[in-house]
Chain A
Amino acid sequence: MAEPAVLLNAALVVVAGWLAVGAAGLLRPHATALIARLLFPLGALGSIVLTAVGLAALSAPPATRILPIGLPDLPLHLRLDPLAAFFLFLLGSASTGISVFGAGYFRAGAGTSPGLLCLQYHVFLATMAMVLLADDAYAFMVAWESMALASYFLVTTQHRIGAIRGAGFLYLLLAHVGAIAILLCFGVLQGGSWQFTFDAMRGADLDATRATLAFALALLGFGAKAGLVPLHVWLPEAHPAAPSPVSALMSGVMLKTAAYGLLRVTLDLLPFPLWHWGAALLALGLFSALFGVIFAAVQTDMKRLLAYSSIENLGIVFAGSGLALLFHAERMPLPAALALAATLYHCLNHAMFKSLLFLATGSVLHATGERNLGRLGGLIRRMPWVAWTALVGTLAIAGLPPLNGFVSEWLLLQALLLTPEVPRPFMNMLVPLGASLLALTAALAAYVMVKFYGVIFLGQMREPALADAHDCGRLERLGLLWLALACVLLGLLPAPVLGLLDGVSAELLGASLVHPQASSVWKLVPLSAERASYSPLVFLLGIVALLGASALVATRVYRRRVRRAPPWDCGFPHQDARMQDTAEGFGQPIRHIFAPFFRMHRELPSPLDAVPQYRVTVEDRFWSLLYLPLARLVTRAARLVGGIQQGRIAVYLLYSFLTLLVLLVIVL
């Protein structure tokens, strides 16, 4: 076991290495081959090291370090504890696959030059690591803002396209609103001591009102980063705009820094937990999850669909942390540890399968130049590598056993089943309703993913040009395989993963989930064997055995050859690719059932039209109900303020004089 201080130093070396790799990209900004063959693999190497560091630090005691960088008298305080270690592990393991994929993916084209992209990409990685390592408010805010800026530049890689600049601006705006809230949150947390190290905040003396204020600000700030409804509007715009490896990084990893920040503030920095924070978080998270998945179901752009699905998954993460907080506030350490483990597990899972799917959309985009689901289809025959690895991600994100998405869902449902034991009469009844919402969300996620996979990869090609689509390159395959393997392993070996998470719950909640007598490598027993257990390996073995037996019997009994023929389709002879269900068609039941969620415009053709056209647009109600009025208000206020602008110097002197007078009156 390595010394904790050594681990922290190793993490810092990786951060420095990433910055150096990024800077090296600037030296030869147009040497695409050099950047792809050397710099991105070097970055991936750093990710692997960081994965190992995170893994080792998960069970190590915390290490701290003060770096004399920055303003005088304001050194950077750094700390590597199990919570940070877990998220470093997540960052490292996901970015390994993404960087390897990126090595094959980025190529010279319109927009930012590869060298600059390399710099932005690696600065983005480094700042995310610094967010996790920061141990004082200054270091945290500097890293947080640099992370937002680096990702902003990455989003606007194709800055010649107006819509992408708009998406980037919206992202920057919400990132800053969130950052201000986080800054204010730290201001409340210091509790009058004016010490901004996290250590001082832990000891600060806060009353319930101030603590609640700090919680609300943290919720606003980190919620804006995580895309919590109603602060989600930037996410479906910014994620599709970015190049696919960046979308993967933003969705898979950057959103998790918001989860990290929320857990850090609520379970670590705030002096005590209150149950209504947990309840609020749970309600907001569940609403976000349902909202995200419903909107994902009606999208027709594959990356927007995935972005909405990220809103759903982060909603689940927030709901899980709310549940952990609720149990923690009610002094129920074991259920709290279970909910926390489910939350962290879901963070890790989402990092893997969402990155995988975003990368797959990147390969599809490169091969076909098409993001619109209405012009894709049948790609499993042209791009088998992408299609089969994406199938793993699809089944995992749909929450199907024995892959990883199911494990975190299972853990969270088990935690929700413990809520009737909460000694608060109202809560213990409302929370099972949460279980029903979670179940609905999970089932809808399967619907969304069948749509996503079926429309892109299965069926007939909707455009003739798709027949020329090529499979992805070798490095891209490697990146996809890494993430697909992670999905499988996280699904099959939940008990060791849960053992790793134990350090985090011991640190934050003082509770341990691991029962040495009940759990083993292949069996997951979160509370007691009587209550629930899940052994994915045995489960998989059972399915495979029965599947194999049925295949054996069927092929033994069956003695004839297989004949190929055109599809039957009930004998209808003139079928073409346009008769398949489109993405819109697949969204129709959702539009029908969840109509109140949407603002829909429909143009139906009349029977007399020579060229009948059908058009439907689905919009987010939050735009018209919240954002547009807000924007109008800001414009109006700006115009009012603009009224005092006369353009004559005498008037401005008058203003200064009046201000001086007012100040004098106040002072005297």
Chain B
Amino acid sequence: MNAAAVLTQLFAVIVAVAAAPLFLGWVNVCRAWLQNRRAPPLAQPYRTIGKLLHKEAVLAHDVSPLFRFAPYAIFGSMATAAAIIPALGLDLPFARAADAIALVGLFATARVFAALAAMDTGTAFGTLGARREMMLGFLAEPALLMVFFTASLIAGSTELPVIAGTHQSHTLAVHPSLAFAAIAFLMVLLAENARIPVDNPSTHLELTMIHEAMVLEYSARHLALIEWAAALKLFNYACMGFALFLPWGVAVDLASPPVLAGALAVLAAKLLLAGAALALIETVNAKIRIFRAPEFLAFAFMLAVLGLLVRLLVQE
């Protein structure tokens, strides 16, 4: 492990943390355009986070230290996830410490902390949100794992950089199993990031909330970190999708500045397109009832398992 690799690793994390709110802003802008609304500024998520960081924090009387610790744990998990996902380059020294299964575990850790913190307040909406979030989680997590397994059976490894590298090298080989996996992954992305049709990120109706209900009791810096972590989660999911299904343009070695600039440009282009696509999906779909969400995710799970079976049947 050399200094250059550590620096690029650090750079990748900083890029992810810094760019995540921008990506969220872009999705919001696209949504507004598609829905004939006047778009908020691209930098609105930054402004929100900055505003929250300067507000007075209010804590419920009898919350435990767990409640105050959870936002940091959630943010830390998401930032660590950004260090594992090969968004810019394949040469990530930290990615050797944790593979795709550990990445799924990391997302689960963040989810469990969020749910525990929501239960800590002991309010009706907090516990309701925790239950719903865990319900979506136990359906989405195995689906995500199956998507990773399909990809890792092709690559013969569960290390994300190796998977992305393998998919990069067979440029023209089309894997039918990956098509199933991609649809399943998209559905998991929508559910896990509280997007329409499963949840609505801009909802103001408490009874339909999932993610928002969990974080109702947070304010100021805690809320800022949670919002930032949510943006980072969306960014991470997008980058995971790129690593699995569109790995082209990710640099093998980030050492030289032109390569780095190229990788950044490709990532920016991919994110622009992905953000627009996400906004389109959210615009043309209606939010489903919460009782239908398990069916939605069970379908994603089935698709992912089918992808795995197709992979084994066809032996591409």
The reply to whether A564 and B135 form a contact with Cβ atoms under 8 Å apart is no
Q: A436-B305, A579-B124 are in contact. Are A569 and B59 (CB under 8 A)?
A: no
The reply to whether A454 and B123 form a contact with Cβ atoms under 8 Å apart is no
Kindly state whether residue A432 has any CB partner on chain B within 8 Å.
yes
Residues of the B chain whose Cβ atoms lie less than 8 Å from the Cβ of A581: 119, 124, 127-128, 130-131
A399 CA to B102 CA in the complex, in Å? 10
Kindly state whether residue B80 has any CB partner on chain A within 8 Å.
yes
Q: A454-B127, A531-B157, A575-B124 are in contact. Are A395 and B112 (CB under 8 A)?
A: yes
Kindly state whether residue B259 has any CB partner on chain A within 8 Å.
no
Most buried by B among A420, A435, A558, A572: A558
Kindly state whether residue A589 has any CB partner on chain B within 8 Å.
yes
Kindly state whether residue B197 has any CB partner on chain A within 8 Å.
no
The reply to whether A554 and B79 form a contact with Cβ atoms under 8 Å apart is no
Kindly state whether residue A557 has any CB partner on chain B within 8 Å.
yes
Residues of the B chain whose Cβ atoms lie less than 8 Å from the Cβ of A446: 108, 111-112, 134, 137-138, 141
Interface string of B32-63 (1 = CB under 8 A from A): 00000000000000000000011111111110
Residues of the A chain whose Cβ atoms lie less than 8 Å from the Cβ of B73: 547
Kindly state whether residue A475 has any CB partner on chain B within 8 Å.
no
Kindly state whether residue A585 has any CB partner on chain B within 8 Å.
yes
The reply to whether B123 and A567 form a contact with Cβ atoms under 8 Å apart is yes
Residues of the B chain whose Cβ atoms lie less than 8 Å from the Cβ of A589: 131-132, 135, 294
Most buried by A among B122, B141, B157: B122
Kindly state whether residue B241 has any CB partner on chain A within 8 Å.
no
Stretch at the interface among B23-31, B214-222, B246-254, B262-270: B214-222
The reply to whether B131 and A564 form a contact with Cβ atoms under 8 Å apart is no
Residues of the B chain whose Cβ atoms lie less than 8 Å from the Cβ of A432: 149, 153, 305, 308-309, 312
Residues of the B chain whose Cβ atoms lie less than 8 Å from the Cβ of A435: 145-146, 149, 308
Interface string of B90-120 (1 = CB under 8 A from A): 0000101111011001101101100110011
The reply to whether A546 and B80 form a contact with Cβ atoms under 8 Å apart is yes
The reply to whether A554 and B157 form a contact with Cβ atoms under 8 Å apart is no
Kindly state whether residue A544 has any CB partner on chain B within 8 Å.
yes
Residues of the B chain whose Cβ atoms lie less than 8 Å from the Cβ of A575: 123-124
The reply to whether A450 and B13 form a contact with Cβ atoms under 8 Å apart is no
Kindly state whether residue B237 has any CB partner on chain A within 8 Å.
no
Smallest Cβ distance from A231 to chain B, in angstroms?
26
The reply to whether B122 and A447 form a contact with Cβ atoms under 8 Å apart is no
Find A547's partner among B54, B75, B206 (CB 8 Å cutoff).
B75
The reply to whether A458 and B56 form a contact with Cβ atoms under 8 Å apart is no
Kindly state whether residue A173 has any CB partner on chain B within 8 Å.
no
The reply to whether B72 and A567 form a contact with Cβ atoms under 8 Å apart is no
Q: A440-B142, A558-B220, A562-B59 are in contact. Are A533 and B99 (CB under 8 A)?
A: yes
A568 CA to B225 CA in the complex, in Å? 19
A401 CA to B128 CA in the complex, in Å? 26
Q: A436-B308, A562-B59 are in contact. Are A554 and B224 (CB under 8 A)?
A: yes
Residues of the A chain whose Cβ atoms lie less than 8 Å from the Cβ of B123: 567-569, 575, 579-580
Find A459's partner among B58, B108, B120 (CB 8 Å cutoff).
B120
Residues of the A chain whose Cβ atoms lie less than 8 Å from the Cβ of B309: 429, 432-433
Q: Which residue of A lies closest to B78 (CB)?
A: A546
Interface string of A540-552 (1 = CB under 8 A from B): 0011101110110
A442 CA to B102 CA in the complex, in Å? 13
Interface string of B122-161 (1 = CB under 8 A from A): 1111111011101101110110011001001100111100
A59 CA to B14 CA in the complex, in Å? 46
Kindly state whether residue B173 has any CB partner on chain A within 8 Å.
no
Smallest Cβ distance from A443 to chain B, in angstroms?
4
Smallest Cβ distance from A408 to chain B, in angstroms?
12
Find A539's partner among B54, B60, B102 (CB 8 Å cutoff).
B102
Residues of the A chain whose Cβ atoms lie less than 8 Å from the Cβ of B153: 417, 420, 432
Q: A380-B66, A535-B97, A542-B97 are in contact. Are A450 and B134 (CB under 8 A)?
A: yes
Find B116's partner among A453, A551, A580 (CB 8 Å cutoff).
A453
Kindly state whether residue A616 has any CB partner on chain B within 8 Å.
no
The reply to whether B121 and A532 form a contact with Cβ atoms under 8 Å apart is no
Find A439's partner among B77, B142, B156 (CB 8 Å cutoff).
B142
Interface string of A569-582 (1 = CB under 8 A from B): 11010010101110
Q: Which residues, 450 to 503 on A, are CB-close (under 8 Å) to B?
A: 450-451, 453-455, 458-460
The reply to whether A560 and B80 form a contact with Cβ atoms under 8 Å apart is no
Q: A446-B108, A547-B73 are in contact. Are A410 and B101 (CB under 8 A)?
A: yes
The reply to whether A436 and B112 form a contact with Cβ atoms under 8 Å apart is no
Kindly state whether residue B162 has any CB partner on chain A within 8 Å.
yes
The reply to whether B122 and A567 form a contact with Cβ atoms under 8 Å apart is yes
Kindly state whether residue A602 has any CB partner on chain B within 8 Å.
no
Residues of the B chain whose Cβ atoms lie less than 8 Å from the Cβ of A451: 134
Q: A400-B112, A417-B149 are in contact. Are A377 and B122 (CB under 8 A)?
A: yes
Q: Which residue of B lies closest to A530 (CB)?
A: B157
Q: A420-B153, A551-B72 are in contact. Are A533 and B105 (CB under 8 A)?
A: no
Find B135's partner among A380, A447, A566, A568 (CB 8 Å cutoff).
A447
Q: Which residue of A lies closest to B156 (CB)?
A: A531
A593 CA to B291 CA in the complex, in Å? 9
Kindly state whether residue A563 has any CB partner on chain B within 8 Å.
yes
Residues of the A chain whose Cβ atoms lie less than 8 Å from the Cβ of B225: 550, 554
Kindly state whether residue A534 has any CB partner on chain B within 8 Å.
yes
The reply to whether A565 and B58 form a contact with Cβ atoms under 8 Å apart is yes
The reply to whether B152 and A530 form a contact with Cβ atoms under 8 Å apart is no
Smallest Cβ distance from A483 to chain B, in angstroms?
20
Residues of the A chain whose Cβ atoms lie less than 8 Å from the Cβ of B72: 547, 550-551, 554
Residues of the B chain whose Cβ atoms lie less than 8 Å from the Cβ of A442: 141-142
Smallest Cβ distance from B115 to chain A, in angstroms?
5
The reply to whether A401 and B119 form a contact with Cβ atoms under 8 Å apart is no
Interface string of A163-190 (1 = CB under 8 A from B): 0000000000000000000000000000
A577 CA to B127 CA in the complex, in Å? 11
The reply to whether B80 and A459 form a contact with Cβ atoms under 8 Å apart is no
The reply to whether B125 and A533 form a contact with Cβ atoms under 8 Å apart is no
Find B60's partner among A428, A440, A554, A566 (CB 8 Å cutoff).
A566
The reply to whether A454 and B119 form a contact with Cβ atoms under 8 Å apart is yes
Smallest Cβ distance from B2 to chain A, in angstroms?
16
A442 CA to B138 CA in the complex, in Å? 8
Interface string of A361-375 (1 = CB under 8 A from B): 000000000000000
Kindly state whether residue A57 has any CB partner on chain B within 8 Å.
no
The reply to whether B56 and A447 form a contact with Cβ atoms under 8 Å apart is no
The reply to whether A560 and B55 form a contact with Cβ atoms under 8 Å apart is yes
Kindly state whether residue B194 has any CB partner on chain A within 8 Å.
no
Q: A401-B106, A530-B157, A560-B56 are in contact. Are A436 and B142 (CB under 8 A)?
A: yes
The reply to whether B60 and A439 form a contact with Cβ atoms under 8 Å apart is no
The reply to whether A567 and B121 form a contact with Cβ atoms under 8 Å apart is yes
Find B159's partner among A420, A433, A532, A570 (CB 8 Å cutoff).
A532
Find B291's partner among A531, A557, A592 (CB 8 Å cutoff).
A592
The reply to whether A565 and B59 form a contact with Cβ atoms under 8 Å apart is yes
The reply to whether A533 and B159 form a contact with Cβ atoms under 8 Å apart is yes
Kindly state whether residue B83 has any CB partner on chain A within 8 Å.
yes
A209 CA to B180 CA in the complex, in Å? 43
Find B108's partner among A391, A400, A460, A579 (CB 8 Å cutoff).
A400
Interface string of A14-50 (1 = CB under 8 A from B): 0000000000000000000000000000000000000
Q: Which residues, 220 to 239 on B, are CB-close (under 8 Å) to A?
A: 220-221, 224-225
Smallest Cβ distance from B100 to chain A, in angstroms?
9
Kindly state whether residue A406 has any CB partner on chain B within 8 Å.
yes
Kindly state whether residue B64 has any CB partner on chain A within 8 Å.
yes
Smallest Cβ distance from A448 to chain B, in angstroms?
9
Q: What 8 additional pairs, Cβ within 8 angstroms, besides A380-B66, A567-B123?
A: A429-B309, A433-B305, A539-B98, A546-B80, A564-B58, A581-B131, A586-B127, A593-B135
For the complex of A and B, the 5 pairs showing the least CB-CB separation, nearest first, are A547-B76, A459-B122, A454-B119, A581-B127, A460-B122
| Listed A/B pairs (23) with beta-carbon separation below 8 Å | A380-B66, A395-B112, A432-B312, A436-B301, A446-B134, A446-B138, A447-B137, A447-B138, A459-B127, A460-B122, A533-B99, A547-B73, A554-B225, A561-B56, A564-B60, A565-B59, A566-B60, A567-B121, A567-B217, A575-B123, A580-B119, A580-B122, A589-B132
